[in-house]
A and B are shown apart, each in its own frame.
Chain A
Amino acid sequence: MRRLEIIVSRLAWFVPTIVGLLIIIFTISHIIPTDPVRVLAGDNATQEQLDALRKEYGYDKPLPIQFINYLKDVATGNLGISIFTKRPISETMWHRLPATLELTFAAVFLSVLFGIPLGVLSALKRNSLFDHVLRVITVSGLAVASFWLAMELQFLFSMNLAVAPLNGRISGFGPDPITGFFVIDSLLIWDMESLRSALSHMILPAITLALPAAATIVRFTRAGVLEVINSNFVLYERAMGIPWPLIVWKYVLRNALISTVTQIGLIFGVFLSGAVVVETVFDWPGIGAYAVNSILQSDYKAIMGFTIWTGAIFLIVNLITDIAHTLIDPRSSQ
């Protein structure tokens, strides 16, 4: 069973990869010339106050000791206390996770929903007007800066047309958290007002994230379909009179999606590790916005917690992508 082998070997790499990542980020965060204690204590703090704070947060110990202590904490799931909010970082991230997850799923759903069919159609109608127009749109979608797109969408839909909220995740407090996903929670308690509000808040940031993602999916799907459509098995299926729509949407697409799935995995990783810019522009209370705040406040522990999260997400996404490959393409599990 090759599939099990893949999973085990990926998991075995998990810990060393994270530790390596931590060494790098720990080193970088301690050689930049900002002193977190000074930031925390303010300009008027005395030397005694600074020393006391250093001792309290363990910054007085040598770096290797600090690192070992930190590793021990991480191993037990403790990412440390934020020097800014004085609250456990893992708790804060856990609270912000549903917002990021919800936005990620919405954006990936949109990009797959539009990306794959458009990719297939542009391959079938290659070099037609449709294909050329779509190419211009996808290249623009990849090239455009997301903060610019976000602000344009806000100008147009929030300020000029007033059909979507400017920012935030919901009006008011939102439904009582059950899963933390506002859309699911409001459905569970059948609160249509909250649902409408949650969806309308989500639509602009989701579109901002989905446009470049959909562009990537279109490009990869189109290339995949073009590669597959000239293969001998398509000729055979046509010669045997299998209906053309079935050949395209079942037999060609499954082969063509092999490379697209890798891209969808990467997109997931990028979104989950915090759509930093988009969450900031739309004031979306997710992981990405938290990372930005932490960086602005030199909140080392929070930055490192975010980094571990990013690393773990990419490892998990890669693992899932590999498993998905063995499911789509039986040759890869041999």
Chain B
Amino acid sequence: MAELLAVRDLTLGFHTDAGLARVLDGVNLTIDRGQVMGLVGESGCGKTTLARAVLGVLPRHVTDISGGSIRFKGRDLLALAPDVLSREVCGRAITFIPQDPYGSFNPVFTVGTQIMEIMKWKSPRREAIGWQAGMPALLQTYPAERRRADRDAVLKLLDAVQLPQPEQILRKYPHELSGGQRQRLMIAMALLPEPDLVIADEPTTALDVTIQAQILGLIRRLATERGVAVLFTTHDLGTAYEICDAVTVMYAGQDVESAPTDVFFTRCVHPYTDRLLASLPRPDGKVAGIPGEVPSLVTPPPGCRFHPRCDSAAADCRAARPPETASGAGHRVRCFHPRVRAAA
């Protein structure tokens, strides 16, 4: 499969009162076309920051990007001018399914207004019908012909995300809909521009457990049908197992291991991944935690940030970050002392 997104050596921090928090430290992430990639890690490990870095919506004043690149279809998004990124990439080639579908809708406009606003700017028919290139945003018009075509596409997609009576739903305000309905709308809005990549940032966290499974199934099915790649962040390994083609694990701002899903859940080799999988609740009810705690990002440990909690750690782990090594097809790990597994 062809490479769609390649994050290389991305290093960035946020200025805080306590000092510079080094939130991402030389992170690599690769997503192929049409691939559903799970980005897994504990809260605060940097997965949402990485997702927002790709979307270009990090808080401008406090973010300090010190190195690396985000190549998307051959272009480095970090080198693009903000207006070009916003006009040509955001909401078109890369779209977004947020974590909080209630707060991500503007409360004082109907969902129909908000969907049609996205279509006005991001419709796949934008250039074909009546687009006034170079016109200031506040003066740009929405030709009736394209509006009709876009509206048909919206109604069709609302049907595809299993929202009955779409005409009525479009007339409602966000607070008049249920959490599941709102997230289905968000999925529809993410797919309408016919993107190459959808960034889904913990899209089921705010939902009831019964709805979660439906939404996950919907994202997986629509992504496959439409050949859209998905970057799916989650702290839930079970969720990743259900819908992802591949999984990348992050710990304290560093990527540690990346593998296709079947390999990941059977033959992972990084000590952190190993402990993470071991920490899943077992049928007998016992839970095996990981001793120690997540390090401060203001004063992170040198080298591999997991070394203070790792039972395989040696002097080389403290000295430098392990390079990426291949451990089978599509399986990359960053560890000097990976677990050695007996052939199954």
Residues of A at the B interface (CB closer than 8 Å) are 231-233, 235-246, 249, 251, 254-255, 328-331, 334
Chain A positions within 8 Å of B232 at CB level: none
| Contact pick for B57, options A231, A238, A255, A329, CB 8 Å | A238
**Contact call B90/A233, Cβ cutoff below 8 A:** no
Inter-chain CA distance A72–B189, complex, in Å, is: 63
A202 to B199, CA, bound (A): 57
From A233, A241, A244, give the contact of B106 (CB < 8 A): A233
The answer to whether B336 has its CB under 8 Å from any CB of chain A is: no
**Pick from A232, A241, A249, A328: contact of B98, CB under 8 Å:** A232
Whether B175 lies near A240 (C-beta < 8 A) is no
Contact call A331/B173, Cβ cutoff below 8 A: yes
**Contact call A246/B137, Cβ cutoff below 8 A:** yes
CB–CB A239/B96 < 8 A: yes
Q: Which chain B residue shows the least CB distance to A252?
A: B106
Which residue on chain B has the smallest CB distance to residue A234? B106
Indicate if the CB atoms of A243 and B121 lie closer than 8 Å: yes
Whether A255 and B122, one on each chain, are in contact in the complex, defined by CB atoms closer than 8 angstroms, is no
B136 lies within 8 A of A245 (CB): yes
Q: A243 and B86: CB pair below 8 A?
A: yes
Chain A residues in 8 Å Cβ range of B91: 239-242
Interface presence of B184 (CB below 8 A): no
A-B contact pairs, 18 of them (CB 8 A): A233-B105, A233-B106, A236-B98, A237-B106, A239-B55, A239-B57, A239-B90, A239-B199, A240-B122, A241-B86, A241-B92, A243-B86, A245-B138, A255-B106, A329-B107, A330-B175, A331-B108, A331-B173
Residues on B with beta carbons closer than 8 Å to the beta carbon of A231? 103
With A237-B106, A240-B189 in contact, do A249 and B138 touch (Cβ < 8 Å)? yes
Contacts of A240 in B (CB 8 A): 90-91, 95-96, 118, 122, 189
How many angstroms from the CA of A237 to the CA of B108 in the assembled complex?
14
Would B89 and A235 count as touching, CB distance under 8 A?
no
Contact A241 B87, beta carbon cutoff 8 Å:
yes
A113 to B52, CA, bound (A): 36
Q: How far is the CA of A242 from the CA of B98 in the complex (A)?
A: 15
Contacts A236-B98, A331-B173 given: A241-B89 contact, CB under 8 Å?
A: yes
Beta-carbon nearest neighbor of B118 in chain A: A240
Given A240-B189, A241-B122, the answer on whether A246 and B138 have CB atoms closer than 8 Å is yes
For chain B, residues 46 to 89, give those with C-beta under 8 angstroms from any C-beta of chain A: 52, 55-57, 85-87, 89
* Residue in A233, A238, A251, A254 whose beta carbon sits within 8 Å of that of B86 in the complex: A238
B279 within 8 A of A: no
- Which residue in chain B gives the minimum CB-CB distance to A333? B173
Contact residues in A for B96 (Cβ distance below 8 Å): 236, 239-240
* Structural contact, A242 and B105, CB atoms closer than 8 A: no
Complex Cα distance A331/B87, Å?
A: 32
> Is residue B325 contacting chain A, with contact meaning CB distance below 8 A?
no
B104 surroundings in chain A (CB, below 8 A): 232-233, 235-236
Residues of B within 8 A of A330 (CB): 107-108, 173, 175
Distance between Cα atoms of A254 and B124 in the complex (Å): 28
Given A232-B98, A246-B138; 13 other pairs, CB 8 A cutoff? A233-B104, A236-B105, A237-B106, A239-B56, A239-B57, A240-B118, A240-B122, A241-B87, A241-B121, A242-B91, A243-B87, A254-B109, A330-B173
- Least Cβ–Cβ distance between A235 and chain B, in angstroms: 6
Q: Name the B residues within 8 Å of A334 (CB-CB).
A: 175
**Bound form: Cα–Cα A22–B92 in Å:** 64
Residues in B neighbouring A328, C-beta threshold 8 A: 108
Complex CA distance for A64 and B57, rounded to whole angstroms = 70
Q: Does B100 contact A (CB under 8 A)?
A: yes
The answer to whether B167 has its CB under 8 Å from any CB of chain A is no
Q: Is B117 an interface residue (CB 8 A)?
A: yes
Contact B175 A235 (CB under 8 A): no
* CB-CB under 8 A for A251 and B109, given A239-B55, A241-B86, A243-B121: yes
Inter-subunit contact A235/B137 (CB<8 Å)? no
Measured CA separation A330–B172 after assembly (Å): 10
Taking CB as reference atom, which chain B residue is nearest A238? B57
With A241-B92, A245-B138: A233-B57 Cβ-Cβ less than 8 Å: no
- Shortest CB-to-CB span from A248 to chain B, Å, is 10
Contacts of B57 in A (CB 8 A): 235, 238-239
Q: In the complex, how many angstroms separate the beta carbon of B131 from the nearest chain A beta carbon?
A: 13
> How near does chain A come to B183, taking the closest CB pair, in angstroms?
13
* Shortest beta-carbon contacts, A-B, top 3: A241-B90, A243-B137, A241-B91
Write out the residue numbers on chain A whose beta carbons fall within 8 Å of the beta carbon of B86: 238, 241, 243-244
Q: Name the contact of B108 in the complex, choosing from A238, A239, A246, A329 (C-beta under 8 A).
A: A329
Contact at A255–B108, with CB atoms within 8 Å?
Answer: yes
Residue of B nearest to A232 (CB): B103
In the complex the two chains form, what is the Cα distance from A254 to B107 in whole Å? 10
Tell me which residues across on chain A come within 8 A of B137, comparing CB atoms: 243-246
Q: Which residues from chain B contact A249 at a C-beta distance below 8 Å?
A: 138
A44 nearest CB across to chain B (Å): 68
Q: Nearest CB to that of B92 among chain A residues?
A: A241
The digit string for B309-322, where 1 denotes a CB below 8 A from any CB of A, is 00000000000000
A167–B90 alpha-carbon span in the complex (Å)? 58
